[in-house]
Amino acid sequence: MTDFSFITTCKGRLQHLQQTLPLLARQENSEVVVVDYGCPQKAGDWVEQHHPAVKAVRVTDDEGFCIARARNLGAQASSAPWLIFIDADIRLVGDLPSWLRPRLAPGTFFRAGATSLDNFGTVVCHRGDFDKVGGYDEILRGWGMEDNDLYCRLRASGCKQEIFPGEFLAAIPHGDEARTRFSPYKNRWVSHTISSLYLQMKYDIARLLPEMSGRETHQKLYEHARRNVLRILRQGEKADMRVRLPLGRHPDLPGTSPIWDIERVLVYTLRPRMPGAGNARSDQAG
């Protein structure tokens, strides 16, 4: 019986996958799915040649890299009740499945203990819970926040978060060039900031105007966040750090009074946490 589906993605990381995939492929009662997301090194071909029992999924319609979409496609191609999302640069150390088995229960998901920021995206989740929240948000592009978003939505759906020992994972060291090679932004914190602002807006809209939530609205929110973050970065320290999100009038109330027009606007303020944070170069900001 297959208990776990290990799902990993690869674009330009074949040298990492060659080190980590054999460790996944030898796990008992488990399957492995590798998503070759337009990998220039043809990771899918290498997988089929050297690990024929591993399922390879190929994406050929995106010159960039959307890890959220890649992981969702991997989940769709898998068959086990429990999904383990793990990056191509993360080595599995020891027998994580044996530690997990007596602790598994639908409605619970497991994250890695904090031993490295690189381990943050490793998560174990029941398929039913993953499907219930809609998987990863594919609107997110570039580096960061797709995992935070999934964890927030799982918790909001009633799932309990547990921690497995981070010592089961060992990250292969690499620099930011590998993280941002297929990203629109050379500075990974640019995409991280865009995604963070977008998610704040998405959650606020879901709470205040749930009838407006949906992919079309979310795409507009992401574009609004992107334009404003890039504006702030390009204008530097003199920029207006406020981002306004008009909400329109309340559907059950008039938008005017005899003497006033009433406008509903959410205002988000970006405050630099370190000196010079507002002075990103234009090439970093895309």
Most distant CA pair in the chain, distance: 75
Q: Where in the chain is the domain with CATH 3.90.550.10?
A: 4-180
CA angle 222, 180, 190 (to 5 degrees): 40
Alpha helices of 157-236 — where are they, by DSSP H? 176-180, 188-208, 215-235
**Residue 235: CB atoms within 10 Å:** 13
Looking at residue 178, its pLDDT comes to 67
Residue 50 to residue 33: CA distance in whole angstroms: 14
Containing 182, the helix (H) or strand (E) segment is: none
Beta strands in 82-127 (DSSP E): 82-85, 90-92, 108-112, 123-126
* 284/136: higher pLDDT: 136
Is 80 exceeded by the pLDDT of residue 220?
A: yes
Query: Dihedral, CA atoms, 182, 184, 186, 192, nearest 10 degrees?
Result: -100
Region 11-23 average pLDDT: 95
Q: What is the residue-averaged pLDDT of the chain?
A: 89
Q: Which CATH superfamily is domain 4-180 in?
A: Spore Coat Polysaccharide Biosynthesis Protein SpsA; Chain A (3.90.550.10)
CA geometry: angle at 224 spanning 207 and 274, to 5°? 90
Q: What residues does 7 pair with on adjacent strands?
A: 33, 85
Q: How confident is the model at residue 281 (pLDDT cuts 50, 70, 90)?
A: very low
User: Which is it for the CA torsion 91, 97, 100, 104, positive or negative?
Assistant: positive
* pLDDT for residue 253: 67
- Pairing relation of β-strands 82-85 and 4-10? parallel
SS3 244: strand
Q: Report pTM.
A: 0.90
Average pLDDT over residues 227-233: 93
